[in-house]
Amino acid sequence: MNAHIFFGQQSQKNLPCMPSDCDKGTCIAAKNPDCPRDIDTATARVTQGRITTIFFTAAYFLEDVEKSTVGFSVIVRILVKGTFIPLRQCFILRFPTGNLSEITCILYQNPKCLSVKVKSTPKTYHRGIKMKKMLAITAFASISSGAALAEEVLHVYNWSDYIAEDTIALFENATGIKVTYDVYDSNEILEAKLLAGNSGYDVVVPTADFMQRQIAAGVYAELDKSKLPNLKHMDPALMAAAAQFDPDNAHGTIHMWGTTGLGYNIDKVQERLGDDAPTDSWALLFDPANAEKLQDCGIALLDAPVEVLPAAMNYLGLNPQSTNKDDLEKGAELVNTIRPFVRYFHSSQYISDLANGDICLTMGWSGDVFQARDRASEAENGVEVGYSIPKEGALQWFDMLAIPVDAPNKDAAHKFINFMMDPQITANNTNYVWYANANLASFLMVDAEITGDSGIFPPDEVKARLWSATVYNKKTDRIMTRLWTGIKTGQ
Ligand code: SPD
C-alpha cells in the first residue's frame, strides 16, 4: 500500500478531476461527471501561531491504494522543504519539527477523483504549486511560534485495550497537547479514584450506570457542548439510551458500547460438549454439568458483580434488573454452584488467555472477545474464538467520555473528547478495539467485517433481548458486595 500527495503541476496531469472552481467560500472541485462528489477532502491548517487557519487546494497522486469494500486507507508522504516525510495514515499529520500544523485528508470510494473543499481562506490558492510554498511558510511559522509555548498536558484514564494504538499520538500531533495515559479494567477501580477526589485526571471513561451515581455524588463537570462540535455525528437513538443515566447527556458522550456475553474456544468446547454444545445460551456457563466438563480447559469470570449476578438471574428466568434481595441471592447461589469450576475472576486477563488457548470459556465484553479472536488469528496458533450473546438475553452497556469536576485542564479535556468524536478517529478506534461506536458518520470508515458482525452490532431481534444496567443504591450495593465476596472466597 503506497500513496503520495504531491503539490504541483506534475501531479495534476495524473488526476481526472482537479480543483477548479475555488472562491473565497467553498469549493467542490470534482467536475468530472465520472467522479462522485465529496469523495475526499484535504485541509491544512496552522492551529496556533499568527496565521490561525489555512485551508488549501491540493492534488493527490495515488500510486497504489489498499481497497476494501467500505473504502480506502492510505499512507501519505508529504514533501516539505525538499524532503519526503514518512507519515502514518492520511488523517492528521504534522510537519517534522513543528507540532502546530496539520493536514487532514479523508479518502472514500474513488481515489482517482478529487474533491477539495476550501473554506474561509485568508487567500485562495488555486494551484498546488502555491500550496507547496504555503506549506513551507506555515511550517516555518509553527517552528518559530512553537518554541515559545509552554507544554500543555492532558491526563486521560481509560479502560485497557480501548483505543487505537495511534490515537493519542494523532491527538498530540494535532493539538500540541501532551497526553499522559493510564488504564484500568473495572468500574470499581475508577469509582474509588473519583470518589476520593483530586484524581488528577481530565478525561475518564465510566460506564453509564456507574456514571449516574457518580454524577449524583458531584464527581463530574457538565460538558460545554459549544466546544464539542463533533457531537453532531452522534446517533440520537443511542445518545437517548445513554441519557437514561445522564439526562440530556449533560456530563458525557458515548465512547463505545457493547454487550456482556460468552467468549469461548470453539474447538475445545466442542471436544468436551459435542456438536450440541449450547454456545448460544448462558447454560454453557451456568449449567454446572457443562461447567464441570469445561473446567480442565479453563473458565474465567469477569470480576464484576453487577455483570455476573444479573446474568445468572437472567438464566434462572428472574429479572436481571431486579434489586430484590431474594433474587440477588438466588443468582449468587447459582454462581456458587459453578464456582469450583472457575479458574479465576478477572476483567482483562481473559483476552490473552482466550487468544492463547489458556482458557476455553469466559463471561466477557464483546469487543474484548473479538480482540482475543483477532490476536489468535494473527498468531496463527490454531485457536478459534467465538462470541455469543446468549439467547436468554444480555447486558447492553455504554462507556462514556466524561470530565471530572476537579480536572486540571478542562479545556484540553473538551478538545480530546471532541477529537474522539471525529468520525475518522472513532472509526480507527472501532477498527482496532472491535467495539461498536455511536458515531453515525464513522460507519463508512469502519471495516465491513465489524459493521456486519451481529455480535458487535446486534440486529433488532437480538437488541430486543438486551437489558440495561441497574443503578444500585447503597443498600443493594452492600448486598452485592457481601454476595460477591462469598463467591470469590468460596465461602
Ligand atoms: N477493554 C475495554 C473494556 C471496556 C468494558 N467496559 C465495560 C463496561 C461493562 N459494564
Residues 187 and 209 in one domain: yes
Among 157, 158, 159, 472, residue to substitute to test ligand 1 (most atoms within 8 Å of Cβ): 159
Residues 281 and 413 in one domain: no
Backbone angles phi, psi at 265, to 5 degrees: -90, 110
Whether the per-residue pLDDT at 147 is higher than 60: the answer is: no
Among 207, 375, 467, residue to substitute to test ligand 1 (most atoms within 8 Å of Cβ): 207
- 11-21 pLDDT, tens digit per residue, is 333 333 333 33
Best CA proximity match to 260, nearest among 221, 312, 213, 215:
312
In a domain, 463, yes or no: no
Quick one: average pLDDT of 85-106?
Answer: 33
Centre of ligand 1 from the C-alpha of residue 351, in Å: 12
CB contact set of 305 (below 8 Å; sequence gap of 6+): 480, 481, 483, 484
| Extended beta strands in 355-485, E state | 361-365, 385-388, 394-402, 466-468
Residues 108 and 161 in one domain: no
Neighbours of 452 (CB within 10 A): 12
Distance CA 455, CA 448 (A): 13
- What is the grid cell recorded at 111? 481515489
Q: What is the CATH number of the domain that holds 376?
A: 3.40.190.10
Among 260, 365, 395, 471, residue to substitute to test ligand 1 (most atoms within 8 Å of Cβ): 365
Confidence of residue 91 (pLDDT cuts 50, 70, 90): very low
Quick one: average pLDDT of 217-236?
Answer: 96
- 188-209 pLDDT, tens digit per residue, is 999 999 999 999 999 999 999 9
Whether the per-residue pLDDT at 218 is higher than 60: the answer is: yes
Confidence of residue 150 (pLDDT cuts 50, 70, 90): low
* pLDDT at residue 174, rounded to an integer: 86
Confidence of residue 143 (pLDDT cuts 50, 70, 90): very low
In a domain, 458, yes or no: no
Neighbours of 201 (CB within 10 A): 25
Residues 131 and 47 in one domain: yes
Distances (CA, A) of 176 to 88, 95, 105, 338, 409: 17, 12, 19, 52, 14
Residues 126 and 158 in one domain: no
Residue 74, domain extent: 2-146
In a domain, 280, yes or no: yes
Whether the per-residue pLDDT at 242 is higher than 80: the answer is: yes
Does residue 198 contact residue 406 with C-beta atoms inside 8 Å?
A: yes
* pLDDT at residue 140, rounded to an integer: 24
- Classify burial at 293, counting beta carbons within 10 Å of its beta carbon; exposed 0-12, middle 13-18, buried 19 or more: middle
Number of structural domains the chain divides into: 3
Ligand 1 lining (C-beta closer than 6 Å): 159-162, 207, 307, 365, 368, 397, 399
pLDDT greater at residue 111 or residue 242: 242
Q: Angle at Cα 182 formed by Cα 404 and Cα 209, nearest 5°?
A: 45
- 384-417 pLDDT, tens digit per residue, is 999 999 999 999 999 999 999 999 999 999 999 9
Residues 272 and 238 in one domain: no
- Nearest residue (by CA) to ligand 1, atom 9, is 397
- What is the grid cell recorded at 119? 473554506
Which segment of 162-166, 170-174, 329-333, 452-456 scores lowest on mean pLDDT?
Answer: 170-174
HEC sequence for 36-60: CCCCEEEEEEECCCCCCCCCCCCEE
In a domain, 462, yes or no: no
Whether the per-residue pLDDT at 49 is higher than 80: the answer is: no
* pLDDT at residue 490, rounded to an integer: 82
In a domain, 378, yes or no: yes
- What is the grid cell recorded at 443? 460507519
Distance CA 368, CA 395 (A): 15
Q: What is the DSSP letter of 436?
A: B
Residues 187 and 267 in one domain: no
Distances (CA, A) of 340 to 184, 283, 300: 27, 16, 11
Helix (H/G/I), strand (E/B), else coil: 335? helix
* pLDDT at residue 320, rounded to an integer: 98
- What is the grid cell recorded at 52? 490561525
Quick one: average pLDDT of 50-68?
Answer: 29
In a domain, 453, yes or no: no
Distance CA 168, CA 174 (A): 10
Distances (CA, A) of 273 to 269, 277, 293, 414: 6, 5, 7, 50
CB contact set of 359 (below 8 Å; sequence gap of 6+): 265, 297, 298, 299, 300, 343, 350, 353
Backbone angles phi, psi at 11, to 5 degrees: -70, -25
Whether the per-residue pLDDT at 316 is higher than 90: the answer is: yes
* pLDDT at residue 13, rounded to an integer: 31
Whole-number percent of the chain with pLDDT over 90: 65
- What is the grid cell recorded at 22? 475555488
* pLDDT at residue 445, rounded to an integer: 87
- What is the grid cell recorded at 412? 484540553
Quick one: average pLDDT of 430-455?
Answer: 93
Distances (CA, A) of 334 to 56, 198, 303, 329, 360: 64, 40, 16, 9, 20
Whether the per-residue pLDDT at 274 is higher than 50: the answer is: yes
